[in-house]
């Protein structure tokens, strides 16, 4: 690698490294051509003909040493730590993430009629976090997630759990309204969700409730039906959060129906209540007394 990088290349590398950090990848090395042309190449062959066990062992040892040397010599020098790294105060850390997001144009949703970015709202130290799929028209207008009819139902669900909307944190997988309230597309979710992961890593909730299949599938990176996803807790550590962080080893994630779906099919409210009761039991929440 040349000692002085071309500025464009440096910028491109910085972007790439930043993206990898957001995805939870921290260690980098570059393979050198000269290494692959050396004896290491021979060791790459699965079954080299007429090679004794001793020779194979020796080659494997050479290969390990060579790869270690490459790793040591070629660590990409462009280092782009997350802005909030080392910031203890979650209010300040969330502010830094919001600043980092800026007037975001990272995915095509920025040019498809959004009025504003809907970052997230609530208690930066919340034990409970709700994650939906994306802002709708009301949210786009007001700049706050879950403020329309679905938001009112979510407020009622939160109240039924014995807590207030201000106690929890609410965000979405994508922060800009998809046109016509369509489902956010995969590339949009993949581009935007690292910011959600960073928010989660700052807030460190005890439980996340994924509202609907889109949120659940994106958070859990698995493709399954709601009936398969619901009814249990998942261990969840957001991409980008280091599991070695002694102060936080991740959160529990539960899946329930999106309030907009419950408005369309109120018969499922009982099922959603079962999901919330599971969360309440874990967080030791009591439903409000009748007089409250
Ligand atoms: S949805 Fe997310 S990634 Fe896409 S433009 Fe909006 S803030 Fe940026």
Read off the DSSP letter of residue 51: -
Cβ(109) to ligand 1 under 6 A? Answer: yes
Cβ(177) to ligand 1 under 6 A? Answer: no
| Per-residue confidence (pLDDT) for residue 3, from 0 to 100 | 44
Which range has the top average pLDDT, 23-32, 56-65, 69-78, 240-249? 240-249
176 Cα to the center of ligand 1, angstroms: 6
Is residue 189 within 8 Å of 183, Cβ to Cβ? Answer: no
Residue 258: Cβ-neighbour burial (10 angstroms; 0-12, 13-18, 19+): buried
What's the pLDDT band for 8 if we cut at 50, 70, 90? low
Closest protein CA for atom 8 of ligand 1? 104
Residue 104 Cα: closest atom of ligand 1: 8
Residue 134 Cα: closest atom of ligand 1: 1
109 Cα to the center of ligand 1, angstroms: 6
- For residue 185, is it left (φ>0), alpha (ψ between -120 and 50) or beta? beta
Is residue 226 within 8 Å of 275, Cβ to Cβ? Answer: no
- What is the per-residue pLDDT across 101-111, written as a single tens digit (0 to 9) for each? 999 999 999 99
Closest protein CA for atom 2 of ligand 1? 192
Is residue 278 within 8 Å of 207, Cβ to Cβ? Answer: no
Is residue 132 within 8 Å of 146, Cβ to Cβ? Answer: yes
Cβ(176) to ligand 1 under 6 A? Answer: yes
Which range has the top average pLDDT, 45-49, 72-76, 95-99? 95-99
| Per-residue confidence (pLDDT) for residue 1, from 0 to 100 | 42
Tell whether the model's pLDDT for residue 29 goes beyond 90: no
What's the pLDDT band for 292 if we cut at 50, 70, 90? low
- What is the per-residue pLDDT across 152-173, written as a single tens digit (0 to 9) for each? 999 999 999 999 999 999 999 9
Question: Which phi and psi angles does 251 have, rounded to 5°?
Answer: -140, 170
Per-residue pLDDT averaged across 226-236, rounded? 96
Cβ(171) to ligand 1 under 6 A? Answer: no
Residue 174 Cα: closest atom of ligand 1: 1
Cβ(107) to ligand 1 under 6 A? Answer: yes
Provide DSSP, 82-143: -TTTT---HHHHHHHHHHHH-S--SSGGGGTT--S----EE-TT-SEEEEES---HHHHHHT
Per-residue pLDDT averaged across 24-34, rounded? 44
Closest protein CA for atom 6 of ligand 1? 176
Q: Give 193's contacts (C-beta < 8 A, 6+ positions apart).
A: 173, 174, 218
Mutate to test the pocket of ligand 1, among 19, 104, 113 (most ligand atoms within 8 A of CB): 104
Q: What is the pTM of this model?
A: 0.75
Nearest CA-CA partner of 16 in 73, 62, 76: 76
């Amino acid at each position: 690698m040349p000692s002085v990088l071309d500025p464009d290349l440096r910028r491109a590398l910085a972007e790439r490294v930043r993206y990898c950090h957001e995805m939870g990848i921290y260690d980098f090395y570059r393979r050198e051509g000269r290494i692959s042309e050396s004896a290491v190449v021979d060791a790459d062959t699965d079954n080299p003909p007429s090679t004794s066990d001793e020779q194979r062992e020796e080659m494997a040892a050479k290969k390990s040493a060579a790869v270690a040397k490459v790793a040591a010599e070629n660590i990409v020098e462009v280092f782009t730590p997350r802005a909030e790294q080392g910031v203890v105060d979650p209010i300040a850390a969330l502010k830094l993430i919001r600043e980092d997001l800026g007037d975001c144009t990272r995915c095509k949703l920025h040019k498809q009629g959004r009025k504003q970015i809907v970052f997230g709202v609530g208690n930066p130290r919340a034990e409970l976090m709700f994650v939906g799929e994306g802002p709708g028209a009301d949210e786009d207008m007001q700049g706050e997630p879950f403020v329309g009819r679905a938001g009112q139902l979510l407020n009622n669900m939160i109240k039924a759990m014995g807590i207030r909307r201000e106690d929890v944190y609410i965000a979405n997988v994508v922060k800009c309204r998809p046109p016509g309230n369509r489902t956010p597309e995969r590339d949009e979710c993949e581009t935007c969700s690292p910011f959600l992961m960073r928010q989660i890593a700052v807030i460190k909730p005890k439980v996340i409730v994924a509202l609907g299949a889109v949120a659940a599938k994106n958070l859990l990176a698995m493709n399954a039906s709601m009936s398969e996803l619901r009814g249990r807790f998942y261990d969840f550590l957001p991409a980008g959060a280091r599991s070695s962080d002694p102060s936080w080893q991740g959160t529990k994630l539960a899946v329930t129906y999106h309030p907009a779906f419950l408005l369309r099919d109120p018969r499922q409210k009982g099922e959603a209540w079962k999901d919330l009761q599971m969360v309440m039991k874990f967080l030791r929440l009591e439903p409000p007394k009748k007089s409250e």
